[in-house]
Amino acid sequence: MADAKVGWVGIGVMGKSMCGHLLKSGYPVSLTTRTREKASELLAAGAAWCATPKDVAQRSDIVFSMVGFPSEVEEVYFGADGILAGARAGSLVCDMSTSDPSTAIRIHEAARARSVASLDAPVSGGDVGAREARLAIMIGGEKRAFDRALPLFQKMGETIALMGGPGAGQHTKMANQIAIAGTMIGTIESLLYAKTAGLGMDAVIDIIGKGAAASWSLNNLGRRIAKGDFAPGFYIKHFVKDMGIALQESRRMKLSLPGLALVNQFYVAAQGQGLENLGTQGLFKVLAAMSGFQA
């Protein structure tokens, strides 16, 4: 696959770095995104611009997509100018968006009808993991397609696993987001407690971040909270979307997840306060305000 022609659809907070790793590794890249300006650095580095996802697919052996919402996944795959309209027989499409498992299965079935392989491969690790190529990549699909794409995944992440058939990657990402939801509320309440008690948040993280309370959220997003940095490594609006998918899948499986439902309400409140474009650590602002603090 070293000489594979790569396509990329969607240049966002994480997609820009992920696509950049492939470009730096020598893969010829054709790309498109809604706002061309977001791709300016990649274009300057040698990527080729395409007008539509269909055009990207027509020029590529393997197409990666990473967009924000399931509705956008639908558009970039099933639209008249979508990836599947242009994908050539024998090519591979790989959606790295976080979307619902049923859409991943639909993409797989539609791709197979065109003699195209497919994978669903959402990621975890945020903007830092994307920049440093340390993402966890959880994949659903057939092993032959996984083996074919693995050398490219290894340019973007360091923990990579085939979790099962089509949709299994998305189900794994839901498990990931459920765990993060609970961890984030614990991180924020812990730091709010520390602040109220007159402790330095960084000093608290230095200690508890190396003990039983250690977590990625505490040691990474907690540091951002301590600095008053609420810029998005992962948007609140996207996390609300992910929790919605997880709650929907839970209802379908007749599974009760009260902790997730509670955290979801706090993040919906953040949206209601106009904070949806902050990073997920922006939840600190919501709970601080409830306690009478200005974050």
Question: Residue 289, Cα to own-chain centre: how many angstroms?
Answer: 28
- Rounded Cα distance between 92 and 83, Å, is 10
Structure tokens that stand for 97 in this block: 């968006």
Extract long-range pairs of 178-183: CB within 8 Å, 24+ residues apart. Answer: 178/246, 178/257, 178/260, 180/217, 180/280, 181/239, 181/243, 181/259, 181/260, 181/263, 181/264, 182/259, 182/260, 182/263, 183/215, 183/216, 183/217, 183/218
Q: Which of 151, 153, 158, 154 is nearest to 134 (CA)?
A: 158
Task: Annotate 133-156 with DSSP letters as a single string.
Answer: T-EEEEEEE-HHHHHHHHHHHTTT
How far is the C-alpha of 223 from the C-alpha of 214, rounded, in Å? 13
Q: Which of 165, 113, 109 is nearest to 142 (CA)?
A: 165
Phi/psi for 139 (5° steps) reads -125, 140
141-144's contacts with Cβ under 8 Å and 24+ in sequence apart are 141/108, 141/117, 141/165, 141/166, 141/168, 141/169, 142/117, 144/117
Q: Tell me whether residue 173 is one of the annotated catalytic residues.
A: yes
Q: Which of these is catalytic: 16, 54, 173, 241?
A: 173
Question: How many CB atoms are located within 10 Å of the residue 294 CB?
Answer: 6
Tell me which residues are annotated as active site: 173
